[in-house]
Amino acid sequence: MTDLADELQTSTESKHMTSHSGERTVIGSCPLDCPDGCSWVVTVSDEGRATRLRGNPDHPFTAGGLCKKVNPWLKMAEDPARLLQPLRRVRPKGERSANRFDDFVPISWDEAMAEIAARFTDIIDSSGPAAIWPFAGTGNVGFVQGGALPVGSRLWNHLGVSKHFLTICSVSGHIGLSYTVGTATGMDPEDVVDAGAVLIWGSNTLVANQHWWPFVEKAADGGAPILVIDPLRTRTAARADLHLAPRPGTDGALALGLCRALIDREAIDSEFIETYTEGFDEFARSLREWDLARVADVCGLPIGELNQLVDLLCEPAHRPLAVKLGQGMQRHAFGGQASRVVSCLPALTGSYPLDGRPAGGGLVYSTHAPYKINTPLAAGRHLGERPRALAMTNLAANLLELNDPPVEALFVHGANPVVSNPDTERVRQGLSRPDLFCVVAEIYLTETTDYADIVLPSTMQHEQWEVNDSFAHMYLNLNQPAVEPPGECVPHTEMFRRLARAMDLDEPELYATDTELVAALIDTDEYRAAGVTLESWKRTGWVRAPAAGRPYRPFGDGFPTESGRFEFVSSRAERDGHGRLPNYRPPTEAGSGDVDVYDLVAIGSDWHINSVFAGTQVVIGRTDAPTISLHPDDAERDGISDGDRIVVFNDRGSFAAVAAVNHQARTGVAATTKGWWGMGVNNTVAERDSDMGRGAVFHDNRVRIRVAAEPDQG
């Protein structure tokens, strides 16, 4: 294994961050939707300007490095397209001028708040508060300014507006794992260094979770094979000891076959199963039809590769087994069920970290469980009820079809749904409604602000207070503002304080300061017992979650399920309509293997974190046109050559790209990256719910591809 010198910009300064004459350093954290949750250090000149950003060398997981997506943060903050004042639309929604700013006129904050307050008050009086929908995304995943609570919850709870379900990313996997493990936190990711084998399932770790890779390398140095399951030969798959590329959406079938093979070869931990699990015999009987021959047929995999994987998993020296489950594999019609099945592998092998058992095994999908922050207090859940809940992945249907009452106002922050939501054309139709009042808080004008009536200029992370957790480590990061915001930019929290004031609301908790909100988050017995205060936290910038002891044993008191055991069978899942046993159902569209039809997969990019900075000069200067990777056999069949301009389409919509003929994608699969402005990959994706939690089905999508017609030269 090689190091990540080409990826991680490691600090060369002393471990202790001392200020030079005329400079100071401020500890903060990256707010973006990435597992790594990095801690960073901002250098500020004596003129009050941020001059440098680097990874925090004192942070155990960040270890002094930031990714190449975030390194130019300060340049992106100074992009000429940065929003610096409130704007009001003067042209019809959806009509975009060559210069987006020409579609608006500047207004004052007082004017903006008065207009929003008047419209919201009229809507509440005529249709009720549920007609207002605060639409929060993961452009910032923090607990103060971002979508984790989401920000504004105190105001929204007090008003009783529609509740927002943040369903676009990982909800299906969380629910699937809740039926077996009871939690998505099945090990400390740092403990992977002691794993006997590392199974990375649907995660391109070197791109999307790269600070975890050094821990994986240590496991490999100790003899652990690195095994990757992914329909694409990603950079991570290329570094694996064994890579299997199943058809998209067939992960559950593969996992069932692996479970049966472990049982057939008597490579299971009978003591663990007897002591800590529920329903093993019933589960084992349900696997009778899942021999490797059937798995090979369903998943489109060579039987030899399957046997090779089973051989490695059965080897006693390759215990405990550590499974990293990525978000991409659960973005299918039955992705929640697939996650449920995969979680059975560490149970069969006795790998979950319990008292008295070796560290290094288990499953990690998210590390949310040990944080135990006081979200009810910070969110003000006691301030009011919000009886209606709307899923963000159903944006188009909710705008076009919902009644009693219809959605009459949107307040969008941390989100760019015209780029990120499924079924782009219908999303545009919904946002184009002339009677819909739409407010967007942003740092740049985006494809979503093309439909905004009012645009509010937001601060960026180094200009505001924030609290960030992670879904790949167990350290809670504090972000402190390093510089004053430019122009008239304000934090989201201040926007909601101003709106409450404009609406003449007298509830004192609506006007809590940012530091009061930060303090509320750690107002728990666990943080008090650990001696964590706001002042002590300011000095370090991070704290290990008090419930994440070392060694981390999340199941010391049993699994957080109904039985207190790992549940191969689940009565709760049966009551919820998902079956008593983990099972497999084929995807709605993907995985068919039909000739001339591709399964389209859009993965994380080397240069984009979703769509946050895709329109900046820095990112545009680093990237070319979006590409679609096609297997040479498919490209030859369809008459497509490397570099051809192509059109990708189905009955929902289309988008243009450039063909990249290579071996990244298996036959029948087309691969691209998400986050591009103007690309429109989600034009082709259905607004259809997954099996659990109303998650999105971005990877359950079939398309056709043809060479684009040459432009008319006449």
**For residues 3 and 7, what is the distance between their CA atoms, to the nearest angstrom?**
9
Q: Indicate whether 511 and 614 sit together in one domain.
A: no
Q: Which tokens sit at 151?
A: 């920000």
Q: How confident is the model at residue 607, as a pLDDT?
A: 86
| 16 within some domain | no
Residue 118 has pLDDT above 90, yes or no: yes
Q: What are 446's strand-pairing partners?
A: none
Looking up tokens 């003000």 gives 380
Closest CA to 268 of 556, 578, 568: 568
Name the pLDDT band for 592 (thresholds 50, 70, 90): low
Residue 18 has pLDDT above 60, yes or no: no
Residue 7 has pLDDT above 60, yes or no: no
| 534 within some domain | yes
Per residue in 240-289, pLDDT (tens digit) is: 999 999 999 999 999 999 999 999 999 999 999 999 999 999 999 999 99
Q: Indicate whether 165 and 178 sit together in one domain.
A: no
Sheet with 321-325: list strands edge to edge.
242-244, 226-229, 197-201, 321-325, 362-364
φ, ψ for residue 544 (rounded to 5)? -70, 135
Per residue in 580-589, pLDDT (tens digit) is: 999 999 999 9
Q: Indicate whether 165 and 176 sit together in one domain.
A: no
| 254 within some domain | yes
Q: Indicate whether 420 and 522 sit together in one domain.
A: yes
Mean pLDDT on 351-377? 94
* Structural domain span for residue 317: 172-365
Segment among 77-81, 201-205, 613-617 with least mean pLDDT? 613-617
| 305 within some domain | yes
Closest CA to 387 of 405, 371, 365: 405
Name the pLDDT band for 1 (thresholds 50, 70, 90): very low
Segment among 11-25, 74-88, 476-490 with least mean pLDDT? 11-25
What mean pLDDT value characterizes the chain?
Answer: 94
Q: Indicate whether 334 and 395 sit together in one domain.
A: no
In Å, how far are 15, 30, 38, 261 from 18, measured between CA atoms?
Answer: 9, 21, 20, 57
| 649 within some domain | yes
Name the pLDDT band for 491 (thresholds 50, 70, 90): very high
Task: Residue 649: give its domain's CATH number.
Answer: 2.40.40.20
| 618 within some domain | yes
Residue 12 has pLDDT above 70, yes or no: no
Q: How confident is the model at residue 630, as a pLDDT?
A: 98
Cβ count within 10 A of residue 118: 12
Q: Indicate whether 387 and 405 sit together in one domain.
A: yes
**For residues 666 and 233, what is the distance between their CA atoms, to the nearest angstrom?**
8
The answer to whether 139 and 416 are in contact (CB under 8 A) is: yes
Name the pLDDT band for 184 (thresholds 50, 70, 90): very high
> If residue 121 lies in a helix (H) or strand (E), which one and from where to where?
helix 109-127
| 577 within some domain | no
Q: How confident is the model at residue 583, as a pLDDT?
A: 96
Q: Which residues contact 476 (CB under 8 A, 6 or more apart)?
A: 371, 373, 467, 468, 469, 522, 542, 543, 544, 545
Q: How confident is the model at residue 367, as a pLDDT?
A: 96
Per residue in 128-140, pLDDT (tens digit) is: 999 999 999 999 9
Residue 15 has pLDDT above 70, yes or no: no
Mean pLDDT on 423-434? 97
Task: Residue 196: give its domain's CATH number.
Answer: 3.40.228.10
Task: Residue 504: give its domain's CATH number.
Answer: 3.40.50.740
Mean pLDDT on 209-229? 97
Q: Hey, is 224 helix, strand or coil?
A: coil
Q: CA angle, 523 as apex, 525 and 143 as ends, to 5°?
A: 130
Q: Indicate whether 637 and 495 sit together in one domain.
A: no
Residue ending a domain, choose from 311, 340, 365: 365
Residue 13 has pLDDT above 70, yes or no: no
Residue ending a domain, choose from 336, 365, 394: 365
Mean pLDDT on 366-373? 95
Q: Indicate whether 497 and 632 sit together in one domain.
A: no
Residue 376 has pLDDT above 60, yes or no: yes
Q: How confident is the model at residue 678, as a pLDDT?
A: 85
Residue 320 has pLDDT above 50, yes or no: yes
Closest CA to 244 of 259, 258, 225, 231: 231
Residue 17 has pLDDT above 50, yes or no: no
In Å, how far are 26, 160, 213, 441 from 189, measured between CA atoms?
Answer: 27, 39, 10, 35
Q: How confident is the model at residue 21, as a pLDDT?
A: 61
Q: How confident is the model at residue 150, as a pLDDT?
A: 85
Closest CA to 421 of 438, 399, 388, 404: 399
The total of structural domains in the chain comes to 3
Per residue in 639-671, pLDDT (tens digit) is: 999 999 999 999 999 999 999 999 999 999 999
Per residue in 306-317, pLDDT (tens digit) is: 999 999 999 999
Q: How confident is the model at residue 593, as a pLDDT?
A: 59
> If residue 601 lies in a helix (H) or strand (E), which one and from where to where?
strand 598-603
Q: Indicate whether 465 and 383 sit together in one domain.
A: yes
Q: Indicate whether 193 and 316 sit together in one domain.
A: yes
Residue 470 has pLDDT above 80, yes or no: yes
Residue 595 has pLDDT above 90, yes or no: no
Residue ending a domain, choose from 505, 520, 544: 544
Q: How confident is the model at residue 711, as a pLDDT?
A: 65
**For residues 152 and 17, what is the distance between their CA atoms, to the nearest angstrom?**
34
Q: Indicate whether 410 and 526 sit together in one domain.
A: yes
Q: How confident is the model at residue 20, as a pLDDT?
A: 55
| 285 within some domain | yes
Cβ count within 10 A of residue 636: 12
Percentage of the chain surpassing pLDDT 70? 96
Q: Indicate whether 638 and 528 sit together in one domain.
A: no
Name the pLDDT band for 478 (thresholds 50, 70, 90): very high
The answer to whether 666 and 231 are in contact (CB under 8 A) is: yes
Per residue in 539-557, pLDDT (tens digit) is: 999 999 999 999 999 998 8
Q: Which residues contact 289 (CB under 8 A, 6 or more apart)?
A: none
